[in-house]
Structure 1
Amino acid sequence: MHFDRSDLSNAQLISFYKALVYPRLVEEKMLLLLRQGKISKWFSGIGQEAIAVGATLALDTDEWIMPLHRNLGVFTTRQMPLDKLLLQWQGSENGYSKGRERSFHFGSNLHHICGMISHLGPQLSIADGIALAYQLKKEKKVALAFTGEGGTSEGEFHEALNVAAVWGLPVIFLIENNGYGLSTPVSEQYHCASLVDKAIGYGMEGVQIDGNNLLEVYQTMRTARAYAIQEQKPVLIEAMTFRMRGHEEASGVKYVPPALFEEWSKKDPILQYEAWLQETHLLAAADIARIRDELKHEIEANVARGLVEKPVIANTSNELGDLYASAPAVVAAEGVSSEKRFINAISEGLKQAMEMHPELILMGQDIAEYGGAFKITEGFVELFGKERVRNTPLCESAILGAALGLAIGGFKSVVEMQFADFVTCGFNQIVNNLAKIHYRWGQTADVVIRMPAGGGVGAGPFHSQSNEAWFTHIPGLKVVYPAFPEDAKGLLTAAIADPNPVMYFEHKALYRSISSYVPENYYSIEIGKASLIQSGDDISIITYGSGVHWAMEYATQHPEISIGILDLRTLLPLDYTAIRAIVAATGKVLVLHEDTLTGGFGAEISAWIAEHCFHLLDAPVMRCGSLDTPVPFAGALEKNFLAKSRLGAYIQQLMAW
């Protein structure tokens, strides 16, 4: 094995050795503690240390790294205290995730490490967003994302590399090709000769290296970093290596031919580097033994501190309190108002938010010169430029991941789903990354996802869904669904000011059919507060979105019935105080929504009322939702599908109690 020292000093080469051997010695200790039952799980990187260590050494300490669960060398090279890492691995509340994550599913802003999720591929897209943040701030930095050869089979790999290439982002994608994805060999994972061959398909530079050669990893990474910064282009690196233990300790290695272990043990990155250090007379065998002994004593001291922690004591208030980051106070509406359509109110709110927050970036398909599918961002490019109003490739997941990366880099973003239906392609990034990251390790996800939703416009089953209930089940998200232009503007500006991820639903049928007076200046409306549209004595209708207008129309047409109408406006968090008040007002409640009935959000509301307001009821809580079918295209079929067609029958049934 040839080691290229280039301009590295003797002191650097020796410090590199210490950085390389340290995670191996830590792992050996952790495997012992695992057998003793003092930690619960371990993903071993033995045999792969040169990649994590060499890559981390090649970056500046304030450049973000997106590691995976076999990259202990990233954490140790970034000087994360071993005693605190040990607390993390034990599930201690004094670890990096307060006991909420195991192994390496955590991050640290101090050390510029972004914690992974088990889905692997999303790390690549986050790196895109962080690299974009560097680019926008004109900083000469790169983002580094690790993946395994198995991760290259995920759609996110393609999406992330394509976005990085199209946008010209300074990001390095590092594949650790260790031969197996759990037990699946590379022969069953991909069919190209080498994974690095994929680089040319994305129009980026790619190189394959010996992942067990510390200096080859380091020198290649330094060259790639300089290139990515200078040219503002991504690089793909495939590091060939081998995993000397199981995917995790419980999985074993019976599926690996013994000959492979014999072959790769001769290529052990530490033994090879030690041999070279001795051949070049940089270290003698006695020096190596002394360094190892010193590091072992350091490890033992850290373990002694890290193993004295008491068991976690659950505190419900703390758990719920860490779900969201603190949101700023609302800005009161002042000045004159003018009549605006729903769509114009959204556009004006978005424009004023762009002026209020220079760090705000808009992303979405066709939103730049074209102005978006509904023309909400028309003219924005001329006002704010293409850096801030960004057309995206057709890849929802990568753009949502990039939005999280932008948040890590200190930016806000609004991502437009061309239609709410298309959000399924980015579901993982929303529910597993954006929603959970603050609870997991305190990182904010300052992202708003605009969701043009709903039927009644003859758009068929793939452009008409009301899918808000999918997201009300996910802790960490906020879900907003305005029904009026004034609320649409004020809730959008509030969502953008809020550092938490917000799903912002806007009903397409309301865009150009509903108008009202809207304050012209910037203002915001508190997320989580319902609006009482009108009081009533006979029955109460709890609804949101299009349902508000259906209820108002019915109430106008039937003045003989005194109907109270509550517009929820926000579905998560939910205004239970307002719900209780309108239940108490009439004792008869109808929950109305456009979504299909089974599993719709109305079920949650009615269940809460039955549990907490039973003594206030004079009749069963009833639900009126759309048919349990996809949204049909033909006008007569869609009209029959929508809950509005059955609203009168439900009201009459409720009145009869």
Structure 2
Amino acid sequence: MAAKIEFTSNSSISKSTLLHLYKSMLKPRLIEEKMLILLRQGKISKWFSGIGQEAISVGVTLALQKEEYILPMHRNLGVFTTREIPLHRLFSQWQGKMNGFTKGRDRSFHFGTQEYNIVGMISHLGPQLGIADGIALANKLKKNNNICAVFTGEGGTSEGDFHEALNVAAVWNLPVLFCVENNGYGLSTPILEQFKCKNIADKGIGFGMESHIIDGNNILEVYTKVSEIAESIRKKPRPVLLEFKTFRMRGHEEASGTKYVPKDLMDFWVAKDPLENFQEYLKQEGILTETIEVSYKEKITHEINKNLQIAFDEEKIVPNLETELNDVFKPFNYQETKASSTKNNIRFVDAISDGLKLSMEKHDDLVIMGQDVAEYGGVFKITDGFVEAFGKERVRNTPICESAIVSAAYGLSVNGMKAVMEMQFADFVSSGFNPIVNLLAKSNYRWNQNADVVVRMPCGAGVGAGPFHSQTNEAWFTKTPGLKVIYPAFPQDAKGLLSAAINDPNPVLFFEHKGLYRSVYQEVSEGYFTTEIGKAAILKEGKEMTIISYGAGVHWVLEALEKLPEISAEVIDLRTLQPLDVTTIYKSVRKTGKVMVVQEDSLFGGIASDISALVTENCFQSIDAPVKRVASLETPIPFQSDLEQQYLSKNKLQEEILKLYQY
């Protein structure tokens, strides 16, 4: 058969390298053919085929050094095989067995492995690109001259995360190869219904980014061009957009088929099969003989069958409740740094700034990112002066792209660094919600990768900022396993808990009430110290009722009780909402017999509802009245001051305390 791909002879590529390229493409092809048989036999659950696209995965992987991270998608089997992951581990992964990479918790290529410097995808696709930004930023800060490569498909280029990630990489000159496999269809939607520009590479122009179009079915072109570009990026760090022209020969996944593809289009790409064409070329050049070809196929087939048997022989996972629960968070051996007895009377905002500054001094690998956090010092001036102290490399202004920056923070963690991201207002977290709840939260549970990220969340009402700057949205995250949620009420706690959050390898949402920033003062310990996460504080001893709150609500409770001196109420400041200190709550409830939970958030679905349920389920015999929840109105937060005051639960608190007392 005459080759349908024009291979340009390159004398710099040795015969052994050419054969290695061939063998590296042959291996994933033979594995896939076997997997399709096993899929029909019901021995694996699902398959996303990369047949016809092996040249891209293999060529890019071989162009990178083994210590350089690759972030593949679900059609990049060649990345995993070229990095020489033992096949029995891949087969165990696809069969949901313990020797895989996710302990049966995720399927397909939804996993990563630090041993092979691979970061697997999540089904939402887009955050993968931002992770590459974070990995590349860490490489740049470490000055190790490493690059990284991240894959997506043509469909993924329509997602906002694609544009955010490319923009950040361009602005920061990050050494990233953005590899887009333009394979014709997003499931059944053809490219002409996905984007208007002629080539995906054209999108690089808008970001001021170098871009190239590469024949994704030509292994020599992929390998040589990517190798050349990669070496150039190592010398001159910058992002490059690569569009690989290829085609998806099978369904998006096997069940969907390819009936929507015109026959002549399919025939065209069948003739451009990367493996068959390269095999023919090598034979014509006298490099690949029949004997070598048969030898390769026999060895790979034997390796596949041998490793399949290992995976088949592996016992099915026996569910273990303790293991499942313990793996939600990365184990963390908290070691307290005690607070100094020397104190200064400072504001809430100053305590947070001081805690953040001292953590920057303690951790050389800590990076702060956020909108206007550098020279401007953040909109609340918490990082004022930080650029002078730590430099712009570690205190980084970001474009307005919350999703990409959350993902980049995770990438920093993957590459061994720490990140604090300032969400300019907690309300804006909705634009970064996906990577927080689907990437950070699930990371340790899925593939034992910590997400050493703190997201600072200035929140709350009382400052006349209206519906887009005044929400207290902690309930969005307290229900997501894998996230820790902290919400302090006092400067001392804010400083100590922030330091502890930065030490913790797990993702933390750190809520800071804007109304407390400059209105609450306290004697705060000088120097660095930590306060243990997950421990509530009893602020006031009492016998007749327990009142539980956090954030600004704690101050409302204390103010209300000053006006009700006849009531002996025990006041609990939760400080941490996840994990929740149920021990302190239950002990107090069993002592007082009446319970009130106060929150600034609107009532339905808030944490007060869960605390009420927990108390009812665990302390029912000890309570003498229904658990009372006090919360704000079931409306968005209004701007006008009288409307805002009407909205807040603070205004009915004293009345509700009296009702519970008199019950």
Normalising by the smaller structure, the TM-score range is over 0.9
Using the TM superposition, name which of 578-587 and 454-463 deviates more. Answer: 578-587
Structure 2 residue identity aligned to 1:154: E
Structure 2 residue identity aligned to 1:209: I
* Inter-partner Cα distance in structure 2 for 1:517 and 1:117: 46
Structure 1 residue identity aligned to 2:198: A
* Inter-partner Cα distance in structure 1 for 2:582 and 2:567: 25
Matched pairs, number: 657
| Structure 1 residue 293: Cα displacement | 2.0
Cα offsets for 1:472-500 (capped at 9, x unmatched): 01111000000000000000000000010
Structure 2 residue identity aligned to 1:567: D
Using the TM superposition, name which of 286-295 and 143-152 deviates more. Answer: 286-295
Q: Name the structure 1 match of 2:174.
A: 169
> After superposition, where does 1:169-208 map in structure 2 within 5 Å?
169-208=174-213
* Inter-partner Cα distance in structure 1 for 2:202 and 2:438: 31
Find 2:405's aligned residue among 392, 399, 404. 399
Q: TM-score, normalised by structure 2?
A: 0.98
Q: Name the structure 2 match of 1:636.
A: 642
| Structure 1 residue 2: Cα displacement | 2.7
Structure 1 residue identity aligned to 2:120: G
Structure 2 residue matching 1:375: 3-state secondary structure: coil
Structure 1 residue matching 2:114: 3-state secondary structure: coil
* Inter-partner Cα distance in structure 2 for 1:119 and 1:6: 42
2:228 is the alignment partner of 1:223:
yes
2:29 is the alignment partner of 1:27:
no
2:449 is the alignment partner of 1:443:
yes
Cα offsets for 1:39-61 (capped at 9, x unmatched): 11111000111101110010001
> After superposition, where does 1:464-543 map in structure 2 within 5 Å?
464-543=470-549
* Inter-partner Cα distance in structure 2 for 1:612 and 1:572: 18
| Structure 1 residue 330: Cα displacement | 2.0
* Inter-partner Cα distance in structure 2 for 1:258 and 1:579: 67
2:58 is the alignment partner of 1:53:
yes
Q: Name the structure 1 match of 2:328.
A: 323
Structure 1 residue identity aligned to 2:597: V
* Inter-partner Cα distance in structure 2 for 1:620 and 1:134: 56
| Structure 1 residue 121: Cα displacement | 1.0
Find 1:351's aligned residue among 337, 350, 357. 357
Structure 1 residue identity aligned to 2:271: K
Q: Name the structure 2 match of 1:84.
A: 89
Q: Name the structure 2 match of 1:618.
A: 624
Q: Name the structure 1 match of 2:132.
A: 127
Structure 2 residue identity aligned to 1:66: L
2:586 is the alignment partner of 1:563:
no
Structure 1 residue matching 2:178: 3-state secondary structure: strand
CA 1:6–1:204 in structure 2 vs 1: closer, same or farther (change >3 Å)?
A: farther
Tell whether the 8 Å contact from 1:335 to 1:521 is kept in structure 2 after alignment.
no
2:264 is the alignment partner of 1:259:
yes
* Inter-partner Cα distance in structure 2 for 1:48 and 1:373: 48
| Structure 1 residue 581: Cα displacement | 1.3
Tell whether the 8 Å contact from 1:227 to 1:233 is kept in structure 2 after alignment.
no
Structure 2 residue identity aligned to 1:107: G
* Inter-partner Cα distance in structure 1 for 2:578 and 2:416: 25
Q: TM-score, normalised by structure 1?
A: 0.99
CA 1:6–1:558 in structure 2 vs 1: closer, same or farther (change >3 Å)?
A: farther
Structure 2 residue matching 1:479: 3-state secondary structure: strand
Structure 2 residue identity aligned to 1:23: P
Tell whether the 8 Å contact from 1:141 to 1:229 is kept in structure 2 after alignment.
yes
Tell whether the 8 Å contact from 1:590 to 1:622 is kept in structure 2 after alignment.
yes
2:425 is the alignment partner of 1:419:
yes
Structure 1 residue matching 2:368: 3-state secondary structure: strand
| Structure 1 residue 578: Cα displacement | 0.5
Cα offsets for 1:484-523 (capped at 9, x unmatched): 0000000000000001000000000000100111110100
* Inter-partner Cα distance in structure 2 for 1:283 and 1:67: 29
| Structure 1 residue 532: Cα displacement | 0.3
* Inter-partner Cα distance in structure 2 for 1:8 and 1:317: 53
Q: Name the structure 2 match of 1:596.
A: 602
Structure 2 residue identity aligned to 1:414: V
Q: Name the structure 2 match of 1:70.
A: 75
2:310 is the alignment partner of 1:305:
yes
| Structure 1 residue 250: Cα displacement | 1.1
* Inter-partner Cα distance in structure 1 for 2:608 and 2:534: 17
| Structure 1 residue 226: Cα displacement | 1.7
CA 1:556–1:280 in structure 2 vs 1: closer, same or farther (change >3 Å)?
A: same
Tell whether the 8 Å contact from 1:165 to 1:234 is kept in structure 2 after alignment.
yes
2:385 is the alignment partner of 1:379:
yes
2:280 is the alignment partner of 1:279:
no
Q: Name the structure 2 match of 1:40.
A: 45
| Structure 1 residue 287: Cα displacement | 2.3
Tell whether the 8 Å contact from 2:561 to 2:654 is kept in structure 1 after alignment.
no
* Inter-partner Cα distance in structure 1 for 2:527 and 2:316: 53
Q: Name the structure 2 match of 1:157.
A: 162
* Inter-partner Cα distance in structure 1 for 2:510 and 2:166: 28
2:529 is the alignment partner of 1:545:
no
5+ residue gaps, structure 1, are none
* Inter-partner Cα distance in structure 1 for 2:256 and 2:505: 40
Structure 2 residue identity aligned to 1:29: K
RMSD after superposition:
0.9
Q: Name the structure 1 match of 2:7.
A: 3
Structure 2 residue matching 1:245: 3-state secondary structure: coil
Tell whether the 8 Å contact from 1:53 to 1:77 is kept in structure 2 after alignment.
yes
Tell whether the 8 Å contact from 2:423 to 2:456 is kept in structure 1 after alignment.
yes
Find 2:20's aligned residue among 15, 19, 34. 15
Find 1:294's aligned residue among 296, 299, 302. 299
* Inter-partner Cα distance in structure 1 for 2:292 and 2:109: 32
Q: Name the structure 1 match of 2:249.
A: 244
Cα offsets for 1:535-557 (capped at 9, x unmatched): 11222111100010000001111
Q: Name the structure 1 match of 2:101.
A: 96
| Structure 1 residue 6: Cα displacement | 4.4
| Structure 1 residue 122: Cα displacement | 0.8
Cα offsets for 1:381-401 (capped at 9, x unmatched): 000000010000010000110
Structure 1 residue identity aligned to 2:13: L
Tell whether the 8 Å contact from 1:50 to 1:211 is kept in structure 2 after alignment.
yes
* Inter-partner Cα distance in structure 2 for 1:585 and 1:592: 19
Divergent runs of 4+, >4 A:
none
| Structure 1 residue 223: Cα displacement | 1.7
Structure 2 residue matching 1:106: 3-state secondary structure: coil
Cα offsets for 1:89-113 (capped at 9, x unmatched): 0000221111111010001000000
Structure 2 residue identity aligned to 1:603: S
Cα offsets for 1:341-381 (capped at 9, x unmatched): 10000000000000010100000000000000000000000
* Inter-partner Cα distance in structure 1 for 2:384 and 2:600: 29
Structure 1 residue matching 2:29: 3-state secondary structure: helix
Cα offsets for 1:413-458 (capped at 9, x unmatched): 1000110000000001100001111111011100000000000000
5+ residue gaps, structure 2, are none
Find 1:646's aligned residue among 648, 652, 656. 652
* Inter-partner Cα distance in structure 1 for 2:408 and 2:252: 28
Structure 2 residue matching 1:191: 3-state secondary structure: coil
Structure 2 residue matching 1:399: 3-state secondary structure: helix
